[in-house]
Amino acid sequence: MRKLSLLILGVAIGAGSATMVSQTALLSSGAVAASADTYRQLSLFGDVFEKVRTDYVEKPEESKLVESAINGMLTSLDPHSSYMDPKSFRDMQVQTRGEFGGLGIEVTMEEGLVKVVTPIDETPASRAGIMANDVITHIDNEPVQGLNLNQAVDKMRGPVNSSVTLKIQRKEAKDPIEVKLTRETIKVRPVRARVEGDIGVLRVTQFNEQTYDNLRTSIEKLTSDIGADKVAGFVIDLRNNPGGLLDQAIMVSDAFLDRGEIVSTRSRNAEDTQRFTAKAGDLAKGKPIVVLVNGGSASASEIVAGALQDHKRATVLGTRSFGKGSVQTIIPLGGNGAVRLTTARYYTPSGRSIQAKGIEPDIEVLQDIPEELKGKDETKGEAGLRGHLSNGGEKEERGGSSAYVPPDPTKDKQLLAAYDLLHGVRKGAANTTTPTPN
């Protein structure tokens, strides 16, 4: 069986050249014949490349031509396979780790300037008094105007213990505020927890290396704050969670299961099928669980929702999920970036493929969509992506659904329905009957 680090939604580090060597050693005579024809096609590519290099109206950047050709090959396979140049690969690794050298502010771009969404507690930004809605106009005396958001974020990130100076415009202040900050290790919080009466709410925003540890700590704190004997249940909010690491999705699912299969991954070779099973131990101690999903819940989110749904461990509520049921492996290319390659489909414990179908909620609850957002709240879903993988033999495909979540929790019909369910209908949500996997 190949030893590959499998990823969901194209993140994390995978296998290297050892896999390629073992595949080459197994070439049959038919495969050799196919290779000869392939090399003739590669010769054609070389001829075209040479013509472009020598005769194009302007001198092209040759490395960019090669990168574009590689990316064209990969993107022709499916929407999730691609080439990552060295910088993109490094950025992906930072995202996967969930920690980086930085200042501790969540930002967005508004009218060409960087606007602070919120400072993260106990970081250089919060200690320096940076506030939500502050506008960053200069970074190290260089104007932000003209930079895109990623470029501005890159300038604010950097080695731990290095310094950076920000010039900030605040509504109440007449003059700009200049702040010098020393970068520290910032950990992204993939899980945000809060108490709602006797219910613990866990908002999981992504699946990076910190997710399971954050989840476990959050459940322990919520249980302590509410009182173990008073907890009515937990809401696991996976809405608009785009996914992340497969191993974290497995660990989060396992956090609420005592036994049984969590997910299986199946590639083109039957011998490469992998099955992942739960270990004993339920962090929620059998308390009822409601999982919230919508059209923005993809990949790793769907693994968790599908596993808990199939095992009758949770009630899934909301709208149909995105439908990304494929696994990407990241294959590093030395110092030349990496290839993100779709290598398998994943299946829920009952043998369902989510690919281009999504998870159908046990209870569908639609939000009240503001007039100005009607018709703009739905995602295309995997089935709406050009060149998407088929469902693996099943004909039915489903498009996207609404991904709207009201900013005001008191108007969030899905969240309020989850509260009502936990207060009024507990039987079934904690049923841990194990299905028979296919």
Enzyme catalytic residues: 299, 310, 324
Residue 9: phi and psi, rounded to 5, are: 60, 30
Residue 267 structure tokens: 């590639």
Please give the DSSP secondary-structure letter assigned to residue 385: S
What's the sign of the alpha-carbon dihedral 78, 82, 88, 92? positive
How far, in Å, CA of 78 to CA of 134, rounded? Answer: 41
Amino acid identity at 229? D
Cβ contacts of 434-437, under 8 Å, gap ≥ 24: 434/259, 434/260, 434/311, 434/349, 435/260, 435/310, 435/311, 435/349, 435/350, 436/350, 437/260, 437/261, 437/264, 437/275, 437/349, 437/350, 437/351
- Mutual angle of helices 211-226 and 246-254, in 10-degree steps: 30
Contact 267, 1 (CB under 8 A): no
Cα pseudo-dihedral 63, 67, 69, 75, rounded to 10: -170
Among 103, 168, 165, 102, residue whose Cα is nearest residue 139: 165
How far, in Å, CA of 141 to CA of 137, rounded? Answer: 9
* The Cα angle at residue 245 between residues 242 and 250, in degrees rounded to 5: 105
Contact 15, 2 (CB under 8 A): yes
Residue 84 structure tokens: 């990552």
Residues pairing with 138 in the sheet: 143, 167
How far, in Å, CA of 145 to CA of 252, rounded? Answer: 41
